[in-house]
């Protein structure tokens, strides 16, 4: 997918690997200058090297100037303000914020969660996107406009399972997305993506042991890959989505639909149905 983001500046949280890295790479490959943030500098530098290498292989010799790193804790308002300022100082603006960073320190029944792990989940998954959006709004977007993209989860759209605390924060993030869209428009658009199961280290315990060709039984069969989410992110932050705000785009291969139905034994191909009398 190719969209035009030349001249725009993006800040991506949780950008050292997985979905965040895939989104940051897609933004850079489509012309944006990108500030990568996560907690550890080593991971950020590896991610930046991967992106600049990809840009160079695609014939962009200035790719190293399109990517910078800024270690920051996703739950910290001070870190958010510093990162927004760093993006503006390095690249001259801040047009796109991708709130991707998330944590999931607990799996089990919601009724049994201890408060420290509940507080940590809320701090990163819900408070984090709000304070980073506040920082981007106050530092740049209030005057110059922009777009915010939150990475939620299909867990925020359903009930049950062992990830109740994580899913609860993602449900609240979906509300936050829609509410902020009403507050920040028309200057700033705020949307979200709700991915299903994606083959990342973050979700490894959900897919480990399943081969790359495993059929999960839903409409499109396979689990997602980070570029599947990155392609949707490109659309939502681009001018192609200029009249879209407050929306949540589900990217899950049909998982929320439930198990796929059995196909007819001898389905007719288009144009090869039963003849009709003329």
Residues acting as catalytic residues:
166
β-strands 188-195, 248-251 pairing: parallel
DSSP state, residue 51: H
Q: Could you write out the three-class secondary structure of 221-270?
A: CCCECHHHHHHHHHHHHCHHHCCCCCCEEEECCCHHHCCCCCCCCCCCCC
- Is the Cα dihedral 202, 226, 253, 208 positive or negative? negative
C-alpha distances in Å from residue 227, one per residue of 60, 149, 248 = 20, 16, 18
Cis peptide before 44 (omega within 30 of 0): no
Helix (H) or strand (E) holding 9: strand 9-13
């Amino acid at each position: 997918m190719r969209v035009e983001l030349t001249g725009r500046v993006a800040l991506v949280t949780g950008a050292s690997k997985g979905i965040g890295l895939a989104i940051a790479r897609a933004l850079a490959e489509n012309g944006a200058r990108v500030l990568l943030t996560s907690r550890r500098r080593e991971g950020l530098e590896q991610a930046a090297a991967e992106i600049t290498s990809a840009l160079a292989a695609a014939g962009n010799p200035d790719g190293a100037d399109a990517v910078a790193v800024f270690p920051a804790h996703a739950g910290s308002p001070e870190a958010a303000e510093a990162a927004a300022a760093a993006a503006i100082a390095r690249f001259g603006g801040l047009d796109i914020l991708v709130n991707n960073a998330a944590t999931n320190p607990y799996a089990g029944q919601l009724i049994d969660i201890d408060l420290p792990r509940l507080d940590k989940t809320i701090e990163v998954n819900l408070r984090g996107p709000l304070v980073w959006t506040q920082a981007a709004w106050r530092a740049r977007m209030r005057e110059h406009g922009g777009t915010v993209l939150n990475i939620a989860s299909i867990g925020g759209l359903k009930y049950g399972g062992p990830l109740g605390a994580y899913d609860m924060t993602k449900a609240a993030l979906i509300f936050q997305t829609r509410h902020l869209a009403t507050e920040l428009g028309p200057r700033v658009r705020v949307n979200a993506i709700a991915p299903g199961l994606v083959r990342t280290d973050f979700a490894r315990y959900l897919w480990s042991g399943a081969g790359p060709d495993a059929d999960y039984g839903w409409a499109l069969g396979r689990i997602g890959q980070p570029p599947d989410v990155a392609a949707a992110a490109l659309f939502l932050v681009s001018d192609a989505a200029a009249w879209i705000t407050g929306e949540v785009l589900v990217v899950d291969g049909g998982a929320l639909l439930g198990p796929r139905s059995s196909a007819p034994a001898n389905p007719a191909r288009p144009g090869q149905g039963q003849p009709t009398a003329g």
